[in-house]
Each structure stands twice: as C-alpha cells, then as structure tokens.
Structure 1
Amino acid sequence: PRSGGGKRPGFEGGQMPLYRLLPKRGFKNIWAKQYAEVNVCVLNCFEDDTTVDPVALEAAGILKNVCDGVRNLGNGELEKSLTVVAQGFTNSAQQKIEAAGGKVEVF
C-alpha cells in the first residue's frame, strides 16, 4: 500500500457522491423538548397520599431517563390518591388523577 492516507468513505473519484445526490426529506427540530411519558395506570405502585415527582419515578424504576421532563398520559385507571408533579398532563390523565382524589401540579 502507498502512503498518504487514502480517500474518505463515499468518495467516487470526483463524481457527485450518492449521499449528495439523494434528496433530504423532512424537518428535524433540534430544539424540540423530549418528554418521558408515564401512563396513569403505572402510578398504582405508589402508596396512598404520596407525592410522585420525576425523582420518585426514577427511584421506583419506572423511568430510566427523565429527558427534558415527564408528561403523564391517561391510559389505564388509577385507584390511589396521589399528588403528581410533572411538566405536563393530558386532559384525561388530569381528570383520572383528580377523580381518584389526587392533585395535579405542573412545574
């Protein structure tokens, strides 16, 4: 082999390379916040009258990574009365938490 390092991957001898010929599609917002999603039914593992926040969810092993925050979704039923602290709630999740005697706090 000769010295000099060779060509970069994708080099086609001066012809327009394939990765530049193909159209790029869509839009990826690099500033979009990515929320960890938690369903209401998962919160039944906590005791009554507990404050459930992102730290408690991580400690219980429900979430591995909080990302930019936690958003609660309304899938399932809740039997416990909890104070849930998160960045966002769907309408159905908020109604189910309050119907079970709990409170919703957005921060």
Structure 2
Amino acid sequence: MKKPKFEFYTRPNGNNEFLIFYKKLPKKDQAKLFATIDMIQEKGLLIAKEMEWIKKIDNEIYEIRSKVSSNIQRALYFHVKDDRFIITHGFTKKTQKTPLKEIAKAKSIKREFEEENND
C-alpha cells in the first residue's frame, strides 16, 4: 500500500480552513499537529490507526488526532484516490465526541472539492 499524501484544501474563495486554524494554535500545538501528519505520511495508515493518530468518523470522513497536554487538536480529512487525501479543516476538541457541526463542515468541503474537481 502506498503511503498517504495529505493536502490542505484551499476553497474557491481563497480560504484554506486548515491553515487559518493552524496559524492560531500555540507553537507547541502547531509542531505536534504537523509532526503527527508527517508521521502518518511516513509510517502509513495501518500504523497510524494502531497508534491512534487517525480515526474513522464515518464512511466519508476521518480525523487526525493530536494532543499537547490538555489541548486536543483534530484535523478532518477525506480520501480522494490512491494515496491522495485532503484535509478539510481543523478544530480544538472540547467534548468527548467529535461535534456534528465539524463533521458536517468536512462533508460540505468534500462536496465542494468534488464539484471543483469533477473533470
């Protein structure tokens, strides 16, 4: 199995939801989140799942999991094709379950991506 390659989606309006979120994080949280993404790309999805770096949310959406002390960061993503994955956005997790509004946002961005790339 090929190693995954993650991309940060830039919306048609020019906004990159993930990078906007990322830039607002404390430096330690930024470093940990990027290190987690790098490790997933380097080690692959099977090891990432075993290490609990990623989790399947539903049939379409997955999450990258990052934590620095009590700060819990999540980046939601979806699979495009082969080894290509798109990170839709990120958020700071404050509850046990992933908020439904964040899942809905990821699905909306996924649909937008598919409409923009239907060639």
Same-fold status (TM-score > 0.5): no
Structure (1/2) with the larger helix percentage: 2
What is the TM-score when the length of structure 1 is the normalising length?
0.25
Q: Which has the larger radius of gyration?
A: 1
Structure (1/2) with the larger strand percentage: 2
The answer to which structure, 1 or 2, has the higher relative contact order (CA under 8 A, 6+ apart) is 2
